[in-house]
């Protein structure tokens, strides 16, 4: 069983898109997967509802009688993998979700606000680690990067994280039309065409995230 959280205190960083393709990848690999959608707009639930391939995926949402901690505990007893998509803000629910996590991924675009908030998110994770007296595997994922060229912004953003000893995944989540189209169709590119560029990008990201997980969780998830 693994709990993977997408966390970033800034909205629009790519958390939901990352959650969507991860859910699709786990489903493709035959793993039972559920999600917790903490974005008030509920985009993750709408995506799963549109996808014929993800009909068995349950997306839970909090409410007055459904606290985040209770939902995470319940989902983790029923499925092998729980994906948590947080809202883009520093909230108590973010701290709770991080505390339950086996790994936390911090999506970050190549902008000063994203990097600044990515660092803030990292500091929140470190605070949860101190409270829980355990280290949580974590890394930054650059999102919406160009597949055609590298920019000064990429190098600058990477340096900003690395000078604070914040690890950044080698694979970047690239900007491709397929990722925008799937929000309308519910068809993740890693389910539609496993040989396409978008699918290969997702698979590489998936494998790096799985490598963050402590054994045997990571090994079981990839198998």
Look at residue 3 in the predicted model and tell me its pLDDT. 98
Distance CA 223, CA 218 (A): 9
What pTM did the predictor assign? 0.94
Look at residue 126 in the predicted model and tell me its pLDDT. 98
Kindly report, residue by residue over 24-62, the tens digit of the pLDDT. Answer: 999 999 999 999 999 999 999 999 999 999 999 999 999
Look at residue 215 in the predicted model and tell me its pLDDT. 77
Look at residue 150 in the predicted model and tell me its pLDDT. 83
- Long-range CB pairs of 119-127 (<8 Å, 24+ gap) are 119/160, 119/161, 119/164, 119/166, 120/9, 120/90, 121/7, 121/8, 121/9, 121/90, 122/164, 122/166, 124/7, 124/9, 124/90, 124/94, 124/95, 124/98, 125/7, 125/98, 127/95
Look at residue 64 in the predicted model and tell me its pLDDT. 87
Domains and CATH numbers, the chain: 2-222 (3.40.50.300)
Block means of pLDDT (10 residues each) for the chain, 223 residues, are 96 97 97 96 94 95 92 97 97 97 98 97 98 97 92 92 96 96 95 96 98 74 50
Q: Where do we find the tokens 């969780």?
A: 217
């Amino acid at each position: 069983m693994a709990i993977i959280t997408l966390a970033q205190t800034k909205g629009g960083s790519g958390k939901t898109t990352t959650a969507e393709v991860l859910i699709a990848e786990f489903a493709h690999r035959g793993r039972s997967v559920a999600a917790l959608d903490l974005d008030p707009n509920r985009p993750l639930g709408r995506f799963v509802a549109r996808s014929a391939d993800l009909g068995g995926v349950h997306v839970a949402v909090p409410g007055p009688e459904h606290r985040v901690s209770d939902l995470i505990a319940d989902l983790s007893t029923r499925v092998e993998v729980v994906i948590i998509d947080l809202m883009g803000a520093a909230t108590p629910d973010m701290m709770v979700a991080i505390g339950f996590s086996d790994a936390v991924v911090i999506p970050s675009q190549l902008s000063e606000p994203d990097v600044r908030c990515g660092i803030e998110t990292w500091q929140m994770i470190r605070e949860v680690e101190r409270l829980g007296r355990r280290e949580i595997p974590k890394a930054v994922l650059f999102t919406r990067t160009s597949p055609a060229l590298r920019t000064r912004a990429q190098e600058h953003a990477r340096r900003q994280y690395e000078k604070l000893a914040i690890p950044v995944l080698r694979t970047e989540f690239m900007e491709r039309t397929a990722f925008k189209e799937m929000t309308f169709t519910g068809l993740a590119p890693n389910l539609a065409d496993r040989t396409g560029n978008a699918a290969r990008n997702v698979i590489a990201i998936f494998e790096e995230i799985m490598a963050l997980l402590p054994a045997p969780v990571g090994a079981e998830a990839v198998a």
